[in-house]
Each structure stands twice: as C-alpha cells, then as structure tokens.
Amino acid sequence: MMKLVFAGIAAFELAGGCAERTSSHASRATITIGAQQINASGLNTSSNAGADRILRRFRMATRVACDVQFGARSSVEIAREQTCVDQTMQRAVSELASPTVALRHAQDIAEQRNFVA
C-alpha cells in the first residue's frame, strides 16, 4: 500500500506536478532513471529552486528504480539500496550537466553525512 502511494506521488512530481516554469535558462535535457523519463525542460536549473525541484524528481525516480523499501530490512539490503541510490543519483546529476544542480546535490550529500556522523 505504501509503495502504491509513493509511486503515485512520484508519478505526479515526475510529470511536472506544480513545478515552477521559466523560459530563460531552461534546461532541455531528459534524463532516464530506471523506466522513468525525467524532463528538466521548463525548469531553471541554474537557480536553487529549479535545482532543488529536479533533484526531488531524481530522488523519487531513483527510489523507485532502486526498489527502496521502508520498514525493517537487513543491513545488507540497506547497503544495496544506498549504493544503488548513490550511483543512480550521481549518474543523473552528471548527465544533466548543470553546475547548480551538481552543487546542490553535493550539499545534500554533505548534509546527510553530517547528520549520520
């Protein structure tokens, strides 16, 4: 049930949801994550807001592609999911080739590491 709800939310966001639209500085890239096509056109990925929006889309598609589960899991399963998420997010960010998105992604990673430490 939780997976269905999450998939529905992810589909809404990936389809554009309530994304801010800007015509200048808009990226024309479409990034494939698993079976999902994430369209960055219409997003100003050179702004923090646009970068954060595309990173949310990437994270949702990545969680589906990596079959991230919620609840009790073994440490092996958690490690597998995290490796998949990390590699998939890095590939998507690299493919988009937006310096602002890359910077925001690096900041997210640093914040996660500080939170865990």
How far apart are the C-alpha atoms of 50 and 54, rounded to whole Å?
6
User: Mean pLDDT, consecutive 10-residue segments, the chain of 117 residues?
Assistant: 42 41 50 94 94 97 95 93 96 96 95 75
27 exposed, middle or buried (CB, 10 Å; 0-12, 13-18, 19+)?
A: buried
Number of domains in the chain: 1
> Does the global pTM surpass 0.75?
no
Q: Which domain holds residue 109?
A: 2-116
The encoded tokens of residue 110 equal 């640093």
According to DSSP, the β-strands at 36-39 and 30-33 are antiparallel
